[in-house]
C-alpha cells in the first residue's frame, strides 16, 4: 500500500466529527416541566395573594361605609355617597377608584350624574358575614372582661370585709355531713331541706421572704 492509499484508508475509517451545537434562543427554549405538587403550591400561593389584594380594597373605614350604603340600595348617586360618608368629593373619588380597581363596585353615568352599585351580590354577603363575625368577637370580649372585672370586685370585697385576715387563706367551706337515717324512714318531699352550717378554718400564707 502506497502513501496515497494509506491516507485514503485513514480518512475512510476516521471518526466522523460531531456537528457543532445549535444555538437556541432563550425565548424558544421549552420550560422545564413542573411537578404537580409544586404547581399546586404555586397556584395556592397565587390565590392567597389575590385574596389578600381583595381585602386591601376593604382596608379603610370610608370604603366600608361606601359598601354598606350600596348594600342597602342599588344605583346610588355620588351625591348620596357624599352625604353618607361625610367625605370631600376628591377624597371620595379616590376611594371609589380603589373599589373599582378591586372589582368591588361598578359605575354607570347617566347624563351628568354617576351612579354606583356593587359589582357582585357576594360583596353584600361578605359585608354581612364580616358584621356578624365582628359582633361575635365583641360579645366574647365583653364576656371575658365582665368575668375579669367580677373576679376582681369579689376579691376586693373579701379583702375589705376581712382586713385582719389579709395574710391568711380560708379553707374551702364544705357542708357538714348529715346523719344517715335509719331504714324505713319516710321523707316529706314538700318540706325544704335544712341548710347545713359551713365551717371554715384560716390557713397561714407563706410570707414573701419564704
- What would the pLDDT profile of 84-123 be if each residue is shown by its tens digit? 999 999 999 999 999 999 999 999 999 889 999 999 999 9
How far is residue 95's CA from residue 56's CA, in Å, rounded to a whole number? Answer: 12
What pLDDT was estimated at residue 199?
A: 42
Cβ-defined contacts of 200-207 (< 8 Å, 24+): 200/170, 200/171, 200/172, 200/173, 201/170, 201/171, 202/165, 202/168, 202/169, 202/170, 202/171, 203/168, 203/169, 203/170, 203/171, 204/167, 204/168, 204/169, 205/167, 205/168, 205/169, 207/167
Q: Is the pTM of this model over 0.85?
A: no
Residue ranges for the chain with pLDDT beneath 50: 7, 166-169, 171-175, 178, 187, 189-203, 208-210
What pLDDT was estimated at residue 144?
A: 86
What pLDDT was estimated at residue 191?
A: 47
What pLDDT was estimated at residue 3?
A: 52
What pLDDT was estimated at residue 190?
A: 46
Amino acid at each position: 500500500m502506497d502513501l496515497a492509499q494509506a491516507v485514503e484508508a485513514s480518512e475512510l475509517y476516521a471518526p466522523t466529527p460531531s456537528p457543532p451545537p445549535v444555538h437556541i434562543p432563550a425565548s424558544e427554549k421549552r420550560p422545564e416541566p413542573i411537578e404537580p405538587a409544586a404547581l399546586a403550591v404555586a397556584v395556592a400561593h397565587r390565590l392567597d395573594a389575590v385574596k389578600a389584594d381583595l381585602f386591601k380594597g376593604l382596608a379603610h373605614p370610608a370604603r366600608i361605609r361606601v359598601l354598606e350604603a350600596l348594600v342597602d340600595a342599588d344605583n346610588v348617586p355620588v351625591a348620596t355617597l357624599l352625604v353618607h360618608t361625610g367625605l370631600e368629593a376628591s377624597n371620595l373619588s379616590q376611594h371609589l377608584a380603589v373599589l373599582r380597581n378591586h372589582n368591588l363596585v361598578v359605575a354607570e353615568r347617566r347624563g351628568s350624574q354617576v351612579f354606583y352599585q356593587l359589582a357582585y351580590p357576594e360583596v353584600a354577603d361578605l359585608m354581612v358575614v364580616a358584621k356578624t363575625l365582628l359582633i361575635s368577637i365583641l360579645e366574647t370580649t365583653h364576656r371575658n372582661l365582665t368575668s375579669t372585672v367580677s373576679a376582681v370586685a369579689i376579691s376586693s370585697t373579701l379583702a375589705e370585709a376581712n382586713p385582719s385576715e389579709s395574710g391568711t387563706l380560708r379553707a374551702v367551706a364544705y357542708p357538714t355531713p348529715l346523719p344517715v337515717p335509719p331504714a324505713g324512714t319516710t321523707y316529706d318531699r314538700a318540706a325544704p331541706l335544712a341548710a347545713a352550717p359551713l365551717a371554715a378554718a384560716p390557713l397561714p400564707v407563706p410570707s414573701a421572704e419564704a
